[in-house]
Structure 1
């Protein structure tokens, strides 16, 4: 054991060494390491100045009772887990003779009220209000995509937000009204959001059935038409190679950078420029086998 810790070391110092030697050096998922670090920092702010030798079971009982009064059940359990593992590390390092949390009386966190679920009328009222919110948005806003996410969460029920957001086109079967839940959205500090091809726990991958109201919603029809355009673009030869690569990699449809720029330029063109664009397209020869009608 390195000589960084002693009986006079504080709880904050113990948590720092535990994070470095145990958590960060093991094969643990990055989001789990980040969660442990967040909980350890929270404990350090409140109790980090206490010395390890000053934390016998009697003192730790008071600490845990104080935590239980101001934390939710899940938050209390997470903080207790971090403390227990850090003290276990101190026992192996011969800084403590026993883990002070092993002999505590059971601590019950503050009771929470029962969960409140929306009834059918409230769900319908919420969807109508959200549809009005979508229609009020500007054309290039993301409100319609948000409407699809809301419909999926309501229709599938029980999904975590991080399970609903990373759904891809190929994960959704519109004909059979099912969705494959096989990934989660991961947030790490100072990094962009990432899709992880595994769920929070092993064995949670599943196929869920959604209600048919989601299938009939306008946002879902837009998603299906977008997927159809992606397939058509992937099947086209020649200059659509970039589109085909985007479809193969992401399962959805995403324009390459050069096409995105052209699309933005055309969208921003004023009505005075449209005749020039049409005239430019008219100069191209028609494809082989096509039939052109003379203009009257």
Structure 2
């Protein structure tokens, strides 16, 4: 490690030993063009420390436009098809046009924050969409740090828009029962029954197979999902914890058994043209139900039942809310819903917890003091 003067140019440079490469050849880092010896020494100490800590990044002209296709390709190994399409859309429509020409190593936190402001003003994107884009850019830079393209992640400390939490819309027990009562005669009744008894996602319900239901042990396993466009069945759930086993009520099992018998009759009636995908919820020809068709039926039944209009996904929120109100352990609710962490469950349904805690305190107090009174 040494600093020397370039007599011809009148500037200073330094050399830092950087170990050996994979072939055992000596590696050195040269940096030139410093105006003073002190300036060269400061930079040399900085580089030497980075070499020791294995954080040194060799300068490169690689731009965001160069890096993002590489990153998306690596993410394709983990992400579901729909999620990858969403990521690719944001990258091509918003990230590359605004930031693509800049070198990775020169991107600053301030520049990222200005990018978010521009997305809000010029593109008029919602805070939620900007936050989604922030997560993509942050994840990409984390990968760039791991690959030694940049020394740190400038997105990590960037300020993001505040996303106002929407008031969660859920049904009470009476409303849920009223809806199920009206939906009972519809062919898709088992789909809505599963939604309101298990909290399964729409994609999970539409991907459920008969072989995933264990009638003897009264359980079903979530192992397959249907894509958002209804064109692809995949043995891939939203997250690792989304692959789960859920216990079923005996009354739900009875509905499913009856539905299975009806499905078998449909298959036998048109056997030559029937497409047997082993799906629990399917068309009369055995093909997957398109999500938009399920939603159309759902909203029509809501009107008939004269209950508040909510989204299909809110049936999942309804299940969780009703379970927590019944003082069911949040950890159990987390496992039923397939959340990766109980903190997610507690955060989403924090509005329910004060009343749950109050009721728990009352129940515990009654148990404790009634016991004390009886022993006197």
2: CA distance, partners of 1:39 / 1:103: 21
> Residue 62 in 1 paired to residue 98 in 2?
no
Q: Secondary structure at the match of 1:207?
A: strand
2: CA distance, partners of 1:228 / 1:94: 58
- Cα distance 1:168–1:64, how it changes in 2: closer, same or farther (>3 A)? same
- Identify the match of residue 163 of structure 1 among 199, 204, 227: 204
For the aligned residue pairs, the C-alpha RMSD in angstroms reads: 4.5
Q: 1:121 Cα deviation (Å)? A: 1.0
Which residue in 2 is equivalent to 1:287? none
1:134-153 to 2 correspondences below 5 Å = 134=186, 144=187, 146-153=188-195
8 Å Cα contact 1:40/1:82 also seen in 2: no
- What TM-score comes out, normalization by structure 2 length? 0.44
Q: 1:171 Cα deviation (Å)? A: 2.0
2: CA distance, partners of 1:44 / 1:229: 49
Which residue in 1 is equivalent to 2:127? 71
Q: 1:39 Cα deviation (Å)? A: 2.8
8 Å Cα contact 1:18/1:89 also seen in 2: no
CA deviation profile, 1:74-120 (whole Å, cap 9, x unmatched)? x5554223212444566689886643213435x36312134232111
> Residue 224 in 1 paired to residue 268 in 2?
no
8 Å Cα contact 1:31/1:187 also seen in 2: no
> Residue 119 in 1 paired to residue 172 in 2?
yes
> Residue 39 in 1 paired to residue 87 in 2?
yes
2: CA distance, partners of 1:227 / 1:125: 26
- Cα distance 1:187–1:31, how it changes in 2: closer, same or farther (>3 A)? farther
Which residue in 2 is equivalent to 1:101? 155
8 Å Cα contact 1:183/1:197 also seen in 2: yes
Q: How many residues align?
A: 216
| 5+ long unaligned stretches in structure 1 | 135-143, 234-239, 257-296
- Cα distance 1:124–1:85, how it changes in 2: closer, same or farther (>3 A)? closer
Q: 1:178 Cα deviation (Å)? A: 2.5
- Identify the match of residue 210 of structure 1 among 240, 248, 256: 248
2: CA distance, partners of 1:251 / 1:185: 10
Q: Secondary structure at the match of 2:220?
A: strand
| 5+ long unaligned stretches in structure 2 | 1-59, 286-376
2: CA distance, partners of 1:80 / 1:202: 23
Q: 1:179 Cα deviation (Å)? A: 1.6
2: CA distance, partners of 1:251 / 1:40: 31
Q: Secondary structure at the match of 1:111?
A: coil
Which residue in 1 is equivalent to 2:73? 24
Q: Secondary structure at the match of 2:154?
A: coil
> Residue 81 in 1 paired to residue 81 in 2?
no
Q: 1:151 Cα deviation (Å)? A: 1.4
Q: 1:30 Cα deviation (Å)? A: 6.3
- Cα distance 1:198–1:168, how it changes in 2: closer, same or farther (>3 A)? same
1: CA distance, partners of 2:102 / 2:68: 13
8 Å Cα contact 1:215/1:221 also seen in 2: yes
- Cα distance 1:52–1:87, how it changes in 2: closer, same or farther (>3 A)? farther
1: CA distance, partners of 2:136 / 2:114: 17
- Structure (1 or 2) with the greater strand fraction: 2
